[in-house]
Amino acid sequence: MTAQRSHLSPSPQPAPPAQPAPAAQPPLLETKGLSRTFGHGEHAVHAVKQVSFHIQPGEIAAVVGESGSGKSTLARLILRLLEPTAGQILLQGRDVTHLHRSQDLKAYWRKVQGVFQDPFAAVNQFYTNRRVLEKPFQLLDRKPPRAERDRRVESALVEVGLDPSDVLNKGPHQLSGGQLQRIMIARALVADPALLIADEPTSMLDASLRVTVLNLLMDLRARHAMGILFITHDLGQAFYISDRILVMYRGELVEQGTVAEIASNPQHEYTRRLLADVPRLHAWGVEAA
Ligand SMILES: Nc1ncnc2c1ncn2[C@@H]1O[C@H](COP(=O)(O)OP(=O)(O)OP(=O)(O)O)[C@@H](O)[C@H]1O
Ligand SMILES: [Mg+2]
């Protein structure tokens, strides 16, 4: 069960509508009762159980939960890398739960890109970084001409703070973890997605680099109005980066709310425990505790 909260109303005096309001935009992404079980019978693992949430365009929502709570399974379901056992996924109001044709999946991945925990595991070590960064062009029906590919790759690199001439002809393994993770973010940007799923993108980085990557993701959201689903086991990072927090516990979404709501009035016992483990919330820009 998700603890639902009453809606906050930041604008106190809305003018009465002079004419019928236009139909509300559907959320950027919505899941309804999304579930995934591994194995059968008494050995079944219910990795993701009846997860329902939505994310709006330009919103950063953080999924927080301990190891094994189902965060990566949820990410892989949304990225359509894994089949759900039950439930639905809607992108911009369109049911994408059962896309199978390669053409449809490619169109989906142009809009929904992923960045993962271990950038070294996510790339072919024999490729150059240029080739890594050009992968999203395979999602297009026709590959753009060389000049346009170069322009898009270089502009993505500049956005993540890397010098194209410094990295393009090197291999991924000649870079640091922080540099390669920025390449992976740039690769996602080359596709110009509406939604980025970032599954623990900072957990293999040194503490000093973590905030750099969080700030980068926040900049990208501001510049591209991109929605971001940011997955972490660290409530501090979730507070720092997100607008809204989704708490997962043993495969279930047990609570969701704004940063202020979660920080000042946690509903679920597990959320309270997580809060107790974040000793200095104000260090992450959160005042209430
Ligand atoms: N392919 C799989 N086959 C069988 N069980 C799996 C598979 N993938 C995940 N699981 C199980 O599903 C549960 C959720 O795993 P998941 O990787 O989604 O958790 P997580 O929250 O991402 O954990 P972590 O913080 O360690 O990354 C775990 O019990 C895991 O062992
Ligand atoms: Mg995981």
Closest ligand to C-alpha of residue 63 is 1
Residue 278: the pLDDT is 76
Q: Give the Cα separation of 286 and 289 in Å (integer).
A: 8
∠ CA 110-118-229, nearest 5°, is 45
Instruction: Note the pLDDT of residue 207.
Output: 85
Distance from residue 36's CA to the centre of ligand 1 (Å): 10
Which atom of ligand 1 lies at the shortest distance from residue 248's CA? 21
Q: Which atom belonging to ligand 1 lies closest to the Cα atom of 233?
A: 25
**Is the confidence at residue 286, as pLDDT, over 90?**
no
The structure tokens 């972490």 sit at 232
Q: Looking at residue 10, what is its pLDDT? A: 45
What is the number of helices (H) and of strands (E) in the chain? 10, 10
Across the chain, mean pLDDT equals 91
Q: What is the pLDDT of residues 18-40, one digit of tens each?
A: 666 666 789 999 999 999 999 99
How high is the pLDDT of residue 8? 42
Ligand 1 geometric centre to CA of 72 (Å): 7
Nearest to 281 by CA among 266, 20, 12, 8: 266
Angle of CA points 191, 192, 194, to nearest 5°: 120
Pocket of ligand 1 (CB under 6 A): 38, 45, 47, 65, 67-73, 233
In tens, the pLDDT along 236-268 reads 999 999 999 999 999 999 999 999 999 999 999
The per-residue pLDDT for range 150-191, each reduced to its tens digit, is: 999 999 999 999 999 999 999 999 999 999 999 999 999 999
Between CA 6 and CA 177 the distance in angstroms is 42
pLDDT per residue as tens digits for the range 2-21:
555 544 444 455 555 566 66
Name the pairing type of β-strands 60-64 and 227-232: parallel
User: Which pair of tokens denotes residue 266?
Assistant: 């946690």
Q: Whose CA is nearest to atom 28 of ligand 1?
A: 68
Query: Please, what are the domains in the chain?
Result: 29-278 (3.40.50.300)
- Dist. CA 240–CA 234, nearest whole Å: 10
Nearest-CA residue for atom 6 of ligand 1: 38
Lowest model confidence (mean pLDDT) among 4-18, 57-71, 88-102, 177-191: 4-18
Distance 48 CA to ligand 1 centre (A): 9
In single-letter form, the type of residue at position 204 comes to: M
Helix (H) or strand (E) holding 51: strand 45-55
- Relative to the CA of 72, which ligand 1 atom is closest? 22
Please choose from 37, 43, 45, 229 the residue to mutate so as to test ligand 1's pocket, defined by most ligand atoms within 8 A of CB.
45
**Ligand 1 pocket check: which of 46, 48, 72 to mutate, most ligand atoms within 8 Å of Cβ?**
72
Give residue-wise pLDDT tens across range 73-87.
999 999 999 999 999
